[in-house]
Copies of this chain bind each other. A is one copy, B any other.
Amino acid sequence: MTKIDDLDTPCVVIDLARVEANLRRVQEHASANGYRLRPHIKTHKLPRFAKRALELGAIGITVQKLGEAEVMADAGLGDVFLPYNIIGEKKLSRLRALNEKITLSLTADSPDTVAGYAATFADPGARPLTVLIECDTGGARCGVQSPAQALALARQIVMSPGLRFGGLMSYPPRGRFAEADRWLADAKAMLEAAGIEVPVITSGNSPDIWHTGDTVVTERRPGTYIYFDRSQVDFGVATYADCALTVLTTVVSRPTATRIVIDAGSKSLSSDLLNQTTYGAVLGHEDITVTSLSEEHGVIELKEPADEPRVGDRIRIIPNHACVVSNLFDTVQLLNVDGTVESEPVAARGRVD
């Protein structure tokens, strides 16, 4: 029976009781507020947690890359939403194969992208592909820029033999859920006035997970809520007691009375700042943070001199951004309530394409 003390460092430790509590609490919020939950697996990349969310009431999963969708399909996940423009012959061929195996939906935000899907799925032998339209409601990333553009693209999808129009999708910036909702309501009204039904409107994210109130949104796709992290705590969405993912590290140097060097650098914690000015908080002493990183070292500068921790002591770090940490480790360690840990390969790690 492996315990935390037996683990070599740096490694990722995931508290299963906190995972379960986070999954349940958000599913209960969804059920109580009348939206469907389609959790984003980018945060954990583990089929096991994707399946657990489904058992608790989620209607399917969200992935961010085709390669992630393939891993999840192979692991038995049968309903996958891929909010990404899939471009190029190789990926379109993989997409067609995947769409034969599972219930798949994805997005487009341009006539070129829709044309690629239409050409791939025009063959009457192919199972039709469900395409939602990505809407830029303020995030300044992908997405059509106006409801009128959404209408034009919806018409193109509806008129393409191998495609089914699936609805509208947005990834609103933090704190702008309501603004996104107004945008999506306008687009929905415009499409319905043109006789196009809008089966699904999907929005939402972990920072706005507790948003309530009247909305046209039917589905939400939060990811980080399964683990939470330092940035989510800073955003006021969770507390440190909710954070399920930590990086277990060893103090490898105490060069001065105020400097601690740990064996986790940007290769373990990533250099994501996400509105923070430092790179992670010390579990149990969250006012103490990782002040600088190089690839294999993290430096903690204390405000006051201290003898502790000593070389060889262990410290757990709550990272700024849990999702990117999952992508940096081949395996993670799952911590049970009895203090034992089990190793789990990160099945969808590194699936960049």
- Chain A residues near B (Cβ < 8 Å): 8-11, 42, 64-65, 84-85, 87-88, 90-91, 109-110, 112-113, 116, 136, 140-145, 250-256, 259, 261, 263-264, 266-268, 270-273, 292, 294-297, 299, 310-312, 323-324, 327-330, 350, 352-353
- Given A142-B252, A145-B256: 11 more A-B contacts, CB < 8 Å: A8-B90, A10-B353, A87-B311, A88-B312, A109-B253, A136-B255, A141-B255, A141-B294, A267-B327, A268-B352, A270-B271
Number of copies: 2
- Complex-state Cα separation, A251 to B323, whole angstroms: 24
- Complex-state Cα separation, A146 to B344, whole angstroms: 44
Q: Are B255 and A143 in contact (CB under 8 A)?
A: yes
Q: Are A113 and B261 in contact (CB under 8 A)?
A: no
Q: Are A297 and B141 in contact (CB under 8 A)?
A: yes
- Complex-state Cα separation, A259 to B273, whole angstroms: 23
- Complex-state Cα separation, A145 to B352, whole angstroms: 42
- Complex-state Cα separation, A11 to B353, whole angstroms: 8
Q: Are A109 and B295 in contact (CB under 8 A)?
A: no
Partner of A253, one of B142, B268, B292: B142
Q: Are A352 and B324 in contact (CB under 8 A)?
A: no
Residues of chain B within 8 A of A268, CB atoms compared: 352
- Complex-state Cα separation, A126 to B352, whole angstroms: 44
- Complex-state Cα separation, A299 to B116, whole angstroms: 22
Q: Are B42 and A295 in contact (CB under 8 A)?
A: yes
Q: Are B261 and A141 in contact (CB under 8 A)?
A: yes
Q: How far is the CB of A144 from chain B (nearest CB, A)?
A: 7
- Complex-state Cα separation, A297 to B110, whole angstroms: 16
Residues of chain B within 8 A of A64, CB atoms compared: 295-296
Given contacts A64-B296, A250-B87, A311-B110, contact A350 B324 (CB under 8 A): no
Q: Are B296 and A110 in contact (CB under 8 A)?
A: no
Closest to A134 in B: B253
- Complex-state Cα separation, A311 to B295, whole angstroms: 34
Partner of A353, one of B9, B65, B113, B292: B9
Residues of chain B within 8 A of A116, CB atoms compared: 312
Q: How far is the CB of A117 from chain B (nearest CB, A)?
A: 12
Q: How far is the CB of A248 from chain B (nearest CB, A)?
A: 11
Residues of chain B within 8 A of A140, CB atoms compared: 259, 292, 299
Given contacts A259-B140, A270-B266, A328-B352, contact A312 B252 (CB under 8 A): no
Partner of A88, one of B88, B250, B271, B327: B250
Residues of chain B within 8 A of A65, CB atoms compared: 296
- Complex-state Cα separation, A92 to B142, whole angstroms: 49
Among A267, A273, A323, max chain B CB count under 10 A is at: A267
- Complex-state Cα separation, A306 to B287, whole angstroms: 47
Among A261, A270, A352, max chain B CB count under 10 A is at: A352
Partner of A112, one of B256, B294, B311, B330: B311
Closest to A89 in B: B8
Q: How far is the CB of A345 from chain B (nearest CB, A)?
A: 12
Q: Are B109 and A144 in contact (CB under 8 A)?
A: no
Q: Are A267 and B87 in contact (CB under 8 A)?
A: no
